Each structure stands twice: as structure tokens, then as C-alpha cells.
Amino acid sequence: MKRLTPLLLFVLLVLTACQIQPSYLPTPTKTPYSMSTALPPATAAPTLEATATLEPTQAPDSAADITPTQVPQREAITIENASQVASTRLDSLDHPTALVWSPDGSLLAVLAENGISLFDSDDLTAAPRLIDPGTGGGSSIVFTPDGSSIILAGYDNTVQVIDVVSGGADTLLDGINVNTLAINPAGTMLAVGDSVGKVHLLDFPSGDLVQQLQIGWPIWSVAFSPDGTILNSGGDDGMVWMWDVVNMQLLNKYDYIGEVWTIDFSPDGIFFATGSADNSVRLWDVLWAGTRREVTFEEHGNDVLAIDFNPDGTIIASGGADGFLYLWDVIIGGSLVRFEAAPGSQVVSVAFSPDGTMLATINSYGPIDLWELP
């Protein structure tokens, strides 16, 4: 055998090595993909099995079909819309004398000969709940600031504190002919104006006498300022007496013409309004002692018996012995609108609801009317 040349030997060795598969390399089991190789089928997305069949819903035919029911919101009475208010007759009671809203506006309390009728503001046209403390009616009622009790000046010469829920009554004062009541915003002092010219300041709820203010003429109206530091009283002497009930001293006296039947402070405490036997509603400036703001409303044809500011202080409602209800513009001055609320009778009490959306009035013949926007 011929001897192989070194070059030939080297070539043979290289060719032999290219045919040997190293034992440590894995043997391919799949053919690599190429542009011509078909892709494996795609995996389908997982599906959720329905647990219930959903039926298509139908739009409600009207707002009444919507659940829960949406209660329409009342609109506040303002200077701009005051002429649009209309009245609804709630009830008629025997000889009603006063009405007042609870602090949260949920109740309207009306004092009459047969007791106190409580109207629910959620349905004021429904029959009221009657609380009869056995006083034969009375001259004045007020809610305590927390709304839990009503304080009543009864015709039996008592002052009663009546629980709104149970109707139970406790006697706070006895033997005094009371014409008017007011409680301070903190609920700690009760002012009682009597028929012999005294204002009794009582600690509340104990009823202990704190101070007795001597006027000398029958007192028909008392009112605390919003901060509780001032008490105004008005009566037969034709004057408004302004008292500092913190230091127990007289601050001022405002001359009037004729008996002062009613007093109310503006919500901000800057002004107070009075209604009198001279047929006028007047605004007085609390900050400028002894001066009267140059706004006097004189369109009533008889005594002004009841007044009330609306919650933002821009409107005064007044009721008179002429049977008319007036709404007055406090900002500009002058009347906004006049209603014949008690034909042939007298409007003896007026009260705005705490949110300013309703105004309640009573006349001496018995009807109770609610005034609001349609």
C-alpha cells in the first residue's frame, strides 16, 4: 500500500470529523420553522359560561317608573320669584293663634284651641298629629333649638314644656298671664313676656328665674338676636326695648307709634324688623344705636300682627289685621307681592320654613295656608 501524503491524510481526517455527531448534543426532534412552514393552530381564548340569562331592559315610560323614586326638590322663595308663589290650604282649626317650624324643618306646629297640631313636612296635606296639653289653647309656642320639645304659653296661665315624641308635658311656670315667648339659640334662656309689663328671663330647662325686666306695659313680642346676646321686647307702650342679656342692662329704646305687636331679627343680626298698630313694617339698625334704617313699609291697611325674615334675610313676610300677606324686598325696599290671604279676617302668624322653600300662614278664622312655588 502506497504511503499517503500528509496533505491527503489531513483531508481524510476533516471529512471523517464532519460525519461524527457528538454524543453530548441533543438530537433535533422538530424541523425549524421557515417562511414556507405552516404555523401551528392558534390557541382559542378561554370562554366564560353564563350563569344567568340577561334579558334586555326597557326604558321606563315615565319618571314614576324609576326606582328608587326621585323626590322633587322644592325651590327656595327669592326676590326674583316671589310673585310666583301659590297657596295650598292644609287644614282649618278652631281659633289658631301661632305656628312655628321645627329647627330641621320636618314639622310644622300650629297652636289652636284644641291643642298643638303637628304637620309632617314630607306630606303636609296629611292629617296632623294632635298633642293636647289641656291648656285650652294659648298665645305662643316655640321649639327648643334641638327640636325635641315645644314650649307653650297656655291660656291657663302656665308655661308648658311638651315632649314632641311622647306628648308628655311638664309645667315650667304657673300663675302668669303670658303673651309671648322666645328661647335663645343656645337653648339655655327663656324669655317670657306677660300682660302686666314684665319680661321674665328663666334658666332653661330648670325654669329658675335669672332676671326680671320691668317695662310697665303689656308685652306682646320678645325676640333674641341670632348670637343670643340681645333681647328685644315690644308692647303697649309703643316702644322697642333692647336689652343686653349678658350684662343685664338696657341698651336702647326705640320710639314707635302704636303698640308693637311683633319683632324679628334678621338672620345675620344686623337688623331687626317690627310690626305695629301704625300699619307699618320697619327695619331698625342694631349696630347704630338709636337710628332707624330708612326703610319703612306702609302698605298694610291695618295693624301688622306678624312678621318673619326668610333664611337669607332678603325677604320679610308680614301678615296684618287687613287680611293681607305681604312679601317685602329688604335689599332695595318696597313690596314684592301682596296676597289676600285671609279675606274678611286677620293673618295672625307667618313663618318661613328653615330652608326658605315654604311660608306658612294662619288666619284667625282657622285656615292654615302653605305658600310655595308651583
Domain assignment present for residue 124? The answer is: yes
**Which of these, 302, 271, 98, lies nearest to 180 by C-alpha position?**
98
Over the stretch 172-196, which tens digit does the pLDDT of each residue have?
Answer: 999 999 999 999 999 999 999 999 9
Residue 348 has pLDDT above 70, yes or no: yes
Distance of CA 287 to the CA centre of its chain: 27
**Which of these, 258, 336, 256, lies nearest to 272 by C-alpha position?**
256
What is the mean predicted confidence (pLDDT) over 329-343? 93
**Which of these, 227, 229, 270, lies nearest to 247 by C-alpha position?**
229
The predicted structure's pLDDT at residue 254: 86
Over the stretch 231-247, which tens digit does the pLDDT of each residue have?
Answer: 999 999 999 999 999 99
**Which of these, 132, 249, 143, lies nearest to 187 by C-alpha position?**
143
The predicted structure's pLDDT at residue 29: 38
Residue 357 carries which side chain, given as an amino acid letter?
A: T
The predicted structure's pLDDT at residue 181: 98
The predicted structure's pLDDT at residue 294: 55
- Quickly count: other Cβ atoms within 10 Å of residue 302's Cβ: 13
Domain assignment present for residue 211? The answer is: yes
The predicted structure's pLDDT at residue 133: 94
pLDDT band for position 72 (50/70/90)?
Answer: low
- Is residue 71 packed enough to be buried (19+ CB in 10 Å), middle (13-18) or exposed (0-12)? exposed
Domain assignment present for residue 18? The answer is: no
Q: What is the CATH number of the domain that holds 187?
A: 2.130.10.10
More confident residue, 353 or 72: 353
Domain assignment present for residue 213? The answer is: yes
CA–CA distances in Å: residue 107 to residues 52, 76, 236: 48, 18, 32
Residue 24 has pLDDT above 80, yes or no: no
Q: What letter does residue 34 receive in the DSSP assignment?
A: -
Q: Does residue 21 sit in helix, strand or coil?
A: coil
Q: The dihedral of CA 115, 116, 118, 124: what is its sign? A: positive
Range(s) of the domain holding residue 97: 91-372
The predicted structure's pLDDT at residue 148: 98
What is the mean predicted confidence (pLDDT) over 297-310? 96
Phi, psi angle pair for 241, to nearest 5°: -100, 125
Least confident stretch, 71-85, 156-170, 266-280, 349-363: 71-85
If one counts the domains in the chain, the total is: 1
**CA pair distance 371, 361, nearest whole angstrom:** 8
**Which of these, 233, 213, 212, lies nearest to 221 by C-alpha position?**
233
More confident residue, 121 or 52: 121
pLDDT band for position 17 (50/70/90)?
Answer: very low
End-to-end, the C-alpha distance of the chain in Å comes to 129
Domain assignment present for residue 193? The answer is: yes
**CA pair distance 186, 340, nearest whole angstrom:** 37
More confident residue, 224 or 74: 224
Percentage of the residues of the chain whose pLDDT score is greater than 90:
74
Over the stretch 117-155, which tens digit does the pLDDT of each residue have?
Answer: 999 999 999 999 999 999 999 999 999 999 999 999 999
The predicted structure's pLDDT at residue 256: 78
Domain assignment present for residue 268? The answer is: yes
**Which of these, 178, 228, 171, 226, lies nearest to 200 by C-alpha position?**
178
**Which of these, 121, 120, 126, 115, lies nearest to 93 by C-alpha position?**
115
Sequence-distant (6+) residues with CB within 8 A of 194 are 176, 177, 178, 179, 200, 218, 219
Domain assignment present for residue 344? The answer is: yes
Average model confidence (pLDDT) across the chain: 84
Least confident stretch, 13-22, 114-123, 142-151, 313-322: 13-22
**CA pair distance 89, 35, nearest whole angstrom:** 90
What is the mean predicted confidence (pLDDT) over 81-110? 96
Domain assignment present for residue 253? The answer is: yes
Q: Does residue 254 sit in helix, strand or coil?
A: strand
Residue 62 has pLDDT above 70, yes or no: no
